[in-house]
Structure 1
Amino acid sequence: MDVTVLRPDELTAADLAAWAAMQRADLRLANPFLAPEFAMAVGRRRATARVARLTAGAGTVGFFPFERHALGSGKPIGWGFCDCQGLVHRPGLDWDPLELLRACGLALWEYDHLAEGQTPFETGGTPHTRAASPVMELAGGHHAYLERLRPKVLRAARNQERRLARDVGPLRLDFHTPDPALLDTLCRWKSAQLRSRGQRDPLSQDWFLAILRELLDLPSESCSGTLTVLRAGGTPVAMLYGLRSREVYATWFPAYDVRFAKYSPGILLHLKCAEASAERGIIHVDLGKGTSRYKDALKTADLTVTEGYVGRRTPGAVLGRLRRASSRTAHTAINADPRVHRAVVRAVGAVDRLR
């Protein structure tokens, strides 16, 4: 197998067609975060972005999007905000992860949202952990999805919908509204939410906002930024920016106007979004890795994503493993002491404001 490393903007029309065909052939690879459009958008903002093209015989058999950092440290492309990672490949392809890393000039490749089916990366003898990524299953249509929900959840949502319509006005969902002003409003809502929780806020950075704007309403069946808006009486009460392919709507940044929090507008938004998605032939609404009240209420299944790394026997890989170990130790220490945690939350907020 031959490997050619490219910058994302060096992909040819033939590359894009082959990549899209591989995603269509396997639902596990249909996530828009694995699409070439996402890689190219990141590549225009991050000089570290690369794509490895794998060929065998006369044909292309895979694409591996990644970032190459100092000392051969590798990460998925869009590290820190990419919710699905791995090698996009022809069905049945087997690969040697260490040979792939060597060809890409990497000593170690870390991942935290490795897609299902990427077994070679998990069998390299390095530790990894698995986590659930909740999804709303729509393959049988919207009615079948509702039948799989807990009756209590659906009953509570319908009560909230009636209250919101009575107090504010009739509800309307706009599945996609490519309005930059509404995107700015969503970003303000989400930034405030992230900071209040002490979480990193990528929306405070202009280069990241440029990626969102570039992907918004992109004319692509593999990856198109979609801004879904729930209105009550004409007023936006909840919004969602996600990436959409033919089969998958990957939710990315959901947020709501806190003035309407008592109506659970986020859950109402997702339920109506599921109905609109099913009408468009979407099979999964991917809620993203992790647990929360709204995800537990809305999911009907879990995908499995993996966090870990694969590394060669090189000094760079050793340094990478030491860095990972020290990072985990620091994270554990921060969470163990509430005073330390509060101080870190304040520091994170200060850094975001400076940015």
Structure 2
Amino acid sequence: MDVSVYRPGELTAADRAAWTALQSRAVEDGSPQLANPFLAPEFALAVGRCRRGARIAVVREDGEPAAFFPFQRTPLGVGRAIGLGVSDAQGLVHRPGFQWDSRELLHACGLSLWEFDHLVEGQKPFEGAASGAYASPVIDVDQGFERYLAALRKQSPKFTRTTLAKERRLGRDAGAVRYVHDERDPAVLRALIAWKSAQYRRTGRSDRFARPWISQLVEQLFHTRTESFAGLLSVLYAGGRPVAAHFGLRSRTVLACWFPAYDPAFAKYSPGLVLHVRMAQGAAADGVAYLDLGRGGKAYKDSLKTRELSVFEGWVTRRHPVALGHRARRAPVRALRNTVLARPEFFEPADRLLKRMGRLRAGG
């Protein structure tokens, strides 16, 4: 296996173009999951500017790039999916029919282990090491928004009726409702981050935006725009005021949903749900095939989705003491978290406790 490993900034323009070309042909090549923007070179390069240890392995066949494998590496050789913790699609971007040996690839990258939690489908050499598969709901809009809305009315009639009625009520009470699919005002991005941070704290969750590298990453991606990739800020306004917003990533065919939030002062209008319906409309008009709502079961995702993809979690390991130690430390934590999330009798009490802690923290 001919593998060269680069820091993100060392990747040549020719290799970046080859990577983008593989993604652009992914649908035609029968691997639409590889078109996800989290698998794009722009995402890997942005993470590389914010995190140490980011690397990109380029696998060549007959001197030409056949596959790209972005990852993060510790000094001890522990590997993680690039952007692990905020990346919703992970894996190796490759030519049709490309085959690889996972342990041989790890050895060439200087890794004793590679950890993933959103491995996309079709990565069979990695899937064999997965500890579990999880649903990632999507909204298909490749047949147009009207077709999706008709399906939504049939699938979730009460949800659709209520959401559209709340949008009309929002317009009556707060002023004309306006949707901007691609907002370029950084002040609105700052408002979204403030809402999301407050939501994390209010619900007792860890505030991702308290980590400087995540805030830096989002800001960089907001300003990243190419023909095949963009950081996309979508905003719902009422009376000229932003009431809900979402920041995600867009490739030619996929809008990856990432950070949605709304102004709590407008909570009774469910502006986040209204926003998602408008996002589906905007994505359809933009030529996107589907919106990926991301791993995890939530009521609003179940109401909006048209189908589900699968993503995988686990570790690929070589025979190495560092790999054994890392896995022994991480496996119980992951298993406990997944058990709580999967079983309502555990999740609901835990969720109530976190929210109570969040209220106490806010009161303090």
The one-letter amino acid paired with 2:94 is H
In 1, are the aligned partners of 2:255 and 2:288 still within 8 Å (CA)? Answer: yes
Partner of 1:142: 145
RMSD: 2.4
Q: Please, which of 158, 162, 177 is the counterpart of residue 156 of structure 1?
A: 162
Report matched runs for 1:1-355 at 5 Å: 1-26=1-26, 27-123=32-128, 126-149=129-152, 150=155, 151-328=157-334, 331=337, 342=353
Distance 2:335 2:162 in 1: 41
Distance 2:216 2:251 in 1: 20
Distance 2:338 2:227 in 1: 41
Displacement of 1:199? 1.9
Displacement of 1:122? 1.3
Distance 2:49 2:6 in 1: 13
The one-letter amino acid paired with 1:309 is W
What's the secondary structure of 1:93's corresponding residue? Answer: coil
Displacement of 1:220? 1.2
In 1, are the aligned partners of 2:47 and 2:82 still within 8 Å (CA)? Answer: yes
Distance 1:220 1:279 in 2: 18
What's the secondary structure of 1:117's corresponding residue? Answer: coil
**Are residues 67 and 344 of structure 1, via their aligned partners in 2, closer, same or farther at CA, if it must alter by over 3 Å?**
farther
Distance 2:86 2:354 in 1: 24
What's the secondary structure of 2:108's corresponding residue? Answer: helix
In 2, are the aligned partners of 1:237 and 1:265 still within 8 Å (CA)? Answer: yes
Distance 1:237 1:302 in 2: 29
**Are residues 333 and 272 of structure 1, via their aligned partners in 2, closer, same or farther at CA, if it must alter by over 3 Å?**
closer
The one-letter amino acid paired with 2:123 is Q
**Are residues 87 and 334 of structure 1, via their aligned partners in 2, closer, same or farther at CA, if it must alter by over 3 Å?**
closer
Deviations along 1:198-237, whole A, 9 cap, x unmatched?
2222212333212111111422133311111101111111
Identity %, equivalent residues = 50
What's the secondary structure of 1:262's corresponding residue? Answer: helix
Is there any run of 5+ residues in structure 2 with no aligned partner, and where?
27-31
Distance 1:334 1:314 in 2: 31
Displacement of 1:86? 0.3
Aligned length: 348
Distance 1:33 1:249 in 2: 10
Displacement of 1:195? 1.5
Displacement of 1:287? 0.8
Partner of 2:29: none
Distance 2:50 2:108 in 1: 24
Displacement of 1:121? 0.3
Distance 2:352 2:159 in 1: 33
In 2, are the aligned partners of 1:73 and 1:316 still within 8 Å (CA)? Answer: yes
In 2, are the aligned partners of 1:95 and 1:120 still within 8 Å (CA)? Answer: yes
What's the secondary structure of 2:206's corresponding residue? Answer: coil
Is there any run of 5+ residues in structure 1 with no aligned partner, and where?
351-355
Distance 1:328 1:17 in 2: 36
Deviations along 1:104-149, whole A, 9 cap, x unmatched?
01111110000111111012xx352011111110111111111221
In 2, are the aligned partners of 1:334 and 1:340 still within 8 Å (CA)? Answer: no
Displacement of 1:34? 0.6
The one-letter amino acid paired with 1:212 is V
In 2, are the aligned partners of 1:25 and 1:91 still within 8 Å (CA)? Answer: no
In 2, are the aligned partners of 1:217 and 1:226 still within 8 Å (CA)? Answer: no
**Are residues 78 and 329 of structure 1, via their aligned partners in 2, closer, same or farther at CA, if it must alter by over 3 Å?**
closer
In 1, are the aligned partners of 2:204 and 2:354 still within 8 Å (CA)? Answer: no
